[in-house]
Amino acid sequence: MSDAIKHSHVEVNGVRLHIAEQGEGPLVLLLHGFPESWYSWRHQFAPLAAAGYRVVAPDQRGYARSEQPERVDAYTLLHLVGDVTALIGALGADQAVVVGHDWGAPVAWATAALRPDLVRGVVGLSVPPLPSGPRPLKESREAFGDGFYQVYFQEPGRADAELAADPASSFRRVFGGASPAAEPRAWVIPEGRKLLDTVPEPERLPAWLTETDIEAFAADYATHGERAFTGGLNWYRNIDRNNELLAPFAGRPIEAPALFVVGEQDLVNAIVPPDVLTFLLDTFTPRLYRHVRLPETGHWTQQERPQEVTAALLDFLGHLEGGSHR
């Protein structure tokens, strides 16, 4: 086993992606969400590699050290699934276990649904399988108003500039500025206020996050300057386009064995109520292995509860291998 994380770049579909990897064995792809990078999986590399897996975490298209295409419509779920499928091939593998958190979860679920030949197991953290990604913006407006964060992100340049003005402060605020609420609430920006007004700079970081972590995220994002967050925000700007493009695949179940992990205080619980979550898992993951709910855990699942998430992943990987892992 390699005892250090290695960094390199791989070109897929004309886009240069930065990847971090460790270990040898069956391929496990770890897909981050917004606003994160490969670094959000820092706690999972060594244990999974020690168990006999090749662990690879890309900075996905538009994020951190990876290339950022200019066109907004270059960030559809079909592009993102295409990146994952091409990455599996570029790494010399025939199949992978694909793990995704936040926006990485829809990419993982969609890859498993559209390319079952390449995915031998799929894991979603925070976001359950959805027919075509997040609900159409019209439905989000009706449910949560014009201040709902996914709607707020639609205006080109607005959230981009707010977040890029001081990336380190933005990461402190988004990751640590709001303690998980006992009753999860959707992220809504009141009329007349800015995005970061809703997440104050914390007096102290939560126990799971250090200033070194903040500096690592900020350094990863420094590559793109004023457009540091634009690539990730462009994923949100394709929500309605995704629903149109993926309409032919609506209702398609995920054939691979699956695992779903969510924090009990994750804000996604306010967007996807328990009865809807149960319906989605029952409908789209007929081979669901486990549904893990982590108490006292917010949205940043694998960072907040690294030991519990790693244990769940190793248990699932062992299930795929016939009941044991090395």
- Residue 218: CA count within 13 A, CB half-sphere: 19
Assigned domain for 225 exists: yes
pLDDT in tens, 163-210: 999 999 999 999 997 666 667 889 999 999 999 999 999 999 999 999
What's the domain range around 299?
A: 6-320
Are the C-beta atoms of 126 and 260 separated by less than 8 Å? no
DSSP result, 265-281: T-THHHHS-HHHHHHHH
Closest CA to 304 of 50, 42, 103: 42
Report the pLDDT value the prediction gives residue 324, as an integer from 0 to 100. Answer: 46
- How far from 96 is each of 121, 134, 245, 326, CA to CA, in Å? 7, 24, 25, 17
The verdict on residue 55 lying in a domain is yes
pLDDT greater than 50 at residue 139 = yes
Is residue 236 within 8 Å of residue 154, measured between CB atoms?
yes
Rounded to an integer, the average pLDDT of 55-81 is 98
Judge contact between 224 and 89, C-beta under 8 A: no
What's residue 2's pLDDT?
53
Which pLDDT score, from 0 to 100, does residue 5 have?
98
Residue 202 sits in a domain whose CATH number is: 3.40.50.1820
**What pLDDT, in 10s, does the model give residues 4-63?**
999 999 999 999 999 999 999 999 999 999 999 999 999 999 999 999 999 999 999 999
Per-residue pLDDT for 134 more than 90?
A: no
Task: Tell me whether residue 126 is in a domain.
Answer: yes
Rounded CA-CA distance 162/12 in Å is 30
Write the pLDDT tens digit of every residue in 267-279.
Answer: 999 999 999 999 9
Q: Sort 207 into a burial class: Cβ within 10 Å, 0-12 / 13-18 / 19+.
A: exposed
Name the one residue in this structure whose structure tokens are 């690294």: 306
Name residue 323's amino acid: G
Length of the chain: 326
Contacts of 152 (CB under 8 A, 6+ apart): 146, 158, 159, 189, 195
The pLDDT assigned to 199 comes to 93
Give me the chain's average pLDDT, please. 95
Residue 184's pLDDT is what? Answer: 87
What is the SS3 string spanning 4-37?
A: CCEEEEEEECCEEEEEEEECCCCEEEEECCCCCC
Rounded CA-CA distance 246/227 in Å is 28
How far is residue 56's CA from residue 73's CA, in Å, rounded to a whole number?
26
More confident residue, 323 or 242: 242
Question: Residue 299 falls within a domain, yes or no?
Answer: yes
pLDDT exceeds cutoff 50 at 1: no
Beta-carbon contacts of 204 under 8 Å, excluding residues fewer than 6 positions away, are none
Inside any domain, residue 305: yes
% pLDDT > 70, the chain: 97
In angstroms, the CA 256 to CA 119 distance is 7
Instruction: Report the amino acid identity of residue 226.
Output: E
pLDDT tens string 311-326 = 999 999 999 998 644 4
pLDDT score for 99? 99
Count of domains for the chain: 1
For the record, the structure tokens of 128 come out as 């359950």
Q: What is the pLDDT of residue 325?
A: 44
Can you give the pLDDT at residue 322? 86
Cα gap 324→320, rounded to integer Å = 8
**Residues annotated as part of the active site:** 102, 299
326 found inside a domain: no
Concatenate the DSSP letters of all residues of 205-246 into one string. Answer: --TT--HHHHHHHHHHHGGGGGGTTHHHHHHHTTHHHHHHHT
In a domain, 325, yes or no: no
Beta bridge partners of 120: none
Average pLDDT value for residue range 141-152: 96
